[in-house]
């Protein structure tokens, strides 16, 4: 039990300390001195930290609960789980958001590069989305799908238009876990098979059913949750046993070397070999499904060899299973090159699940599948009171419109590629940055003790860099099986100036850590 808690605490930011009082309007930093200080003469980035990019939005005056009162209530009346998952020793007390910015209750501004866990897609309180929500709130804020109302139908048609044939049937839910629960049920009903395969390190939800899909022990409980769920080795080309210098679909490759010829990846063959072993040993000859994130989210932006999903889909289909893309984090243009992450793998799933970015932070999820698979589910009755809520649908529609009008996907591509390229320079500069990976604005920076061992940077060190980055005004996330990967998944409206500010802050946080070491 002790091991379990200490791991989870390491993965998150540890226990709560005292409220933050560092001013962050202009980033504060400790300039390294002495021998390590010479590292500040590094080529990258510029020696001084430039001010946070300007923002002319003025937040309201904060008049709600004091920080002390919130912490008291959090301790007394909120489930202890939320204390456990609270980020930072000195937590951030958030008051208001506007686009890529958050203000805390003391009026300090933060550049939000984690978007409430990859969820605020087009920007906090985006004016167009807010307007759509307000209009719908004035008209009708709840009815349910036993009645017929325009926002649900407008939304389903609009969402389906973002998918190729035959993915044209939508079922709306309230969260990603709920969408994946439903996907599991539909896969089993449609195929008549039971067993489902996922990748180790994946996160697909925390409900008792999806806990079985999730292959990360920190999120598992000793209950009968995963009946029929199996996992295979994650084809992680940085941390896994096999990987090389051109395996992944990213502007940045690992620093591992390989002698693969173009178009053939030996690491892929090896990881597919592992999957074949799972087929041979752990599941019956007929299976229900394979679930895969196009890029692992909670797992730390892990990317697979380019053909891995394609080969997997074929093997799964040969065994009667359907292929499910969990786009909860990668959907809605986040990967930049495509609207859906699966498109980057050149595969066609039988079902796609989504949530998070779908409604810019309003609770909503969806399953999209083929008419044929949907029909097997319709043999029984399934009802969801809030799935298809009119306000959620109005917001979802406005998000789709905004992604188009604001050129969000292009921003993801351009700013994301820039960030990845510059972060790779930091990787080349520092022994403790092992890997930089991802696509668009789904980015992971994996920290290591040293490049040779690839041993994860310990939690205390991760937390120091994490806290310092926040104290200098930038919020990022953490993930990976050992809590060793920083995650950058901002609202997709960030600018090149924001990216440069973050790069300078992150570089400084690393230097500060090295100077203290």
- Nearest residue by C-beta to ligand PMP? 176
Nearer to ligand PMP, 8 or 36 (CB): 8
Q: How far is the CB of 281 from ligand PMP (least distance, A)?
A: 27
Long-range contacts of 449-458 (CB under 8 A, 24+ apart): 451/255, 454/238, 454/239, 456/480, 456/482, 456/483, 456/484, 457/432, 457/484, 458/10
Q: How far is the CB of 298 from ligand PMP (least distance, A)?
A: 5
DSSP category for residue 244: -
Nearer to ligand PMP, 116 or 473 (CB): 116
Nearer to ligand PMP, 301 or 493 (CB): 301
What is the DSSP track for 420-448? HHHHHHHHHH-TTEEEEEEETTEEEEEEB
* Cα(236)–Cα(296) distance, integer angstroms: 10
CA distances for 405 relative to 57, 157, 400, 401, 473, angstroms: 21, 18, 9, 6, 29
Contacts of 294 (CB under 8 A, 6+ apart): 309, 325, 327, 330, 335, 340, 341, 342, 344, 345
Nearer to ligand PMP, 177 or 508 (CB): 177
Q: Which two tokens stand for residue 438?
A: 């991802």
Q: How far is the CB of 350 from ligand PMP (least distance, A)?
A: 17
Cis peptide before 166 (omega within 30 of 0): yes
Q: How far is the CB of 461 from ligand PMP (least distance, A)?
A: 24
Report which of 328, 306, 291, 329 is spatially closest to residue 443, judged by C-alpha positions. 329
Q: How far is the CB of 213 from ligand PMP (least distance, A)?
A: 9
Which burial class, exposed, middle or buried, applies to 145 when counting CB atoms under 10 A from its CB (0-12, 13-18, 19+)? middle
Nearer to ligand PMP, 322 or 367 (CB): 367
Nearer to ligand PMP, 181 or 464 (CB): 181
Q: How far is the CB of 228 from ligand PMP (least distance, A)?
A: 18
Which burial class, exposed, middle or buried, applies to 224 when counting CB atoms under 10 A from its CB (0-12, 13-18, 19+)? exposed
Q: How far is the CB of 145 from ligand PMP (least distance, A)?
A: 20
Phi, psi of 372 (to 5 degrees): -65, -45
Nearer to ligand PMP, 175 or 469 (CB): 175
* Cα(499)–Cα(464) distance, integer angstroms: 21
Question: 244 and 260 in contact (C-beta within 8 Å)?
Answer: yes
Nearer to ligand PMP, 45 or 365 (CB): 365
Nearer to ligand PMP, 199 or 328 (CB): 328
Phi, psi of 419 (to 5 degrees): -60, -45
Q: How far is the CB of 379 from ligand PMP (least distance, A)?
A: 26
Q: Which two tokens stand for residue 132?
A: 């759509």
Q: What is the CA radius of gyration of the chain?
A: 23
Question: 239 and 247 in contact (C-beta within 8 Å)?
Answer: no
Nearer to ligand PMP, 329 or 408 (CB): 329
Q: How far is the CB of 342 from ligand PMP (least distance, A)?
A: 13
Q: How far is the CB of 348 from ligand PMP (least distance, A)?
A: 19
Question: 222 and 189 in contact (C-beta within 8 Å)?
Answer: no
Nearer to ligand PMP, 350 or 471 (CB): 350
Positions in the binding site for ligand PMP (CB under 6 A): 117, 175-177, 180, 203-205, 293, 297-298, 326, 328-329, 355
Q: How far is the CB of 329 from ligand PMP (least distance, A)?
A: 5
């Amino acid at each position: 039990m002790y091991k379990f808690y200490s791991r989870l605490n390491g993965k998150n930011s540890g226990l709560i300390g005292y409220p933050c009082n560092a001013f962050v309007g202009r980033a504060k930093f400790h300039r390294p001195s002495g021998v390590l200080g010479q590292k500040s003469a590094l080529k990258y980035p510029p020696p001084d930290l430039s001010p946070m990019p300007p923002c002319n939005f003025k937040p309201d005056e904060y008049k709600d609960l004091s920080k002390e009162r919130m912490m008291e209530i959090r301790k007394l009346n909120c489930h202890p789980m939320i204390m456990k998952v609270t980020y930072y020793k000195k937590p951030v007390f958030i008051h208001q958001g506007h686009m890529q910015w958050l203000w805390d209750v003391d009026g300090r501004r933060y550049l939000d590069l984690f978007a409430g866990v990859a969820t605020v897609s087009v920007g906090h309180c985006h004016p167009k989305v807010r307007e759509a929500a307000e209009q719908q709130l004035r008209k009708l804020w709840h009815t349910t799908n036993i009645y017929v109302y325009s926002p649900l139908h407008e939304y389903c048609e609009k969402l389906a238009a973002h998918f190729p044939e035959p993915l044209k049937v939508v079922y709306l839910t309230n969260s990603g876990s709920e969408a994946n629960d439903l996907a599991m049920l539909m896969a089993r009903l449609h195929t008549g098979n039971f067993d489902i395969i996922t990748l180790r390190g994946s996160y697909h939800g925390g409900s008792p059913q999806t806990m079985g899909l999730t292959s990360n022990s920190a999120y598992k409980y000793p209950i009968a949750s995963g009946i029929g769920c199996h996992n295979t080795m994650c084809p992680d080309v940085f941390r896994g046993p096999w990987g090389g210098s051109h395996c992944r679909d990213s502007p940045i490759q690992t620093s591992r070397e390989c002698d693969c010829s173009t178009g053939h990846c030996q690491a892929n063959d090896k990881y597919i070999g592992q999957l074949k072993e799972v087929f041979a040993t752990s599941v019956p000859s007929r299976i229900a499904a394979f679930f895969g994130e196009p890029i692992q989210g909670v797992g730390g932006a892990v990317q697979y060899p380019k053909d891995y999903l394609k080969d997997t889909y074929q093997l799964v289909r040969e065994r009667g299973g359907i292929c499910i893309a969990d786009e909860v984090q990668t959907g809605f243009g986040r990967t930049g090159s495509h609207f859906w992450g699966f498109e980057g793998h050149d595969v066609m799933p039988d079902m796609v699940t989504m949530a998070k970015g779908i409604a810019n932070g309003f609770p909503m999820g969806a399953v999209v599948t083929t008419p044929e698979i949907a029909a097997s589910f319709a043999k029984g009755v399934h009802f969801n009171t809030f799935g298809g809520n009119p306000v959620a649908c109005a917001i979802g529609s406005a998000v789709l419109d905004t992604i188009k009008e604001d050129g969000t996907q292009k921003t993801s591509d351009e700013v994301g590629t820039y960030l990845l390229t510059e972060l790779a320079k930091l990787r080349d500069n520092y022994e403790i940055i092992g890997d930089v990976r991802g696509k668009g604005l789904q980015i992971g920076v994996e920290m290591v003790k040293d490049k040779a061992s690839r041993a994860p940077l310990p939690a205390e060190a991760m937390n120091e860099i994490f806290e310092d980055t926040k104290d200098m005004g930038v919020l990022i996330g953490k993930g990976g099986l050992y809590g060793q990967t920083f995650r950058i998944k901002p609202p997709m409206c960030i600018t090149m100036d924001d990216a440069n500010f973050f790069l300078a802050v992150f570089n400084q946080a690393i230097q500060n850590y090295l100077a203290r070491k």
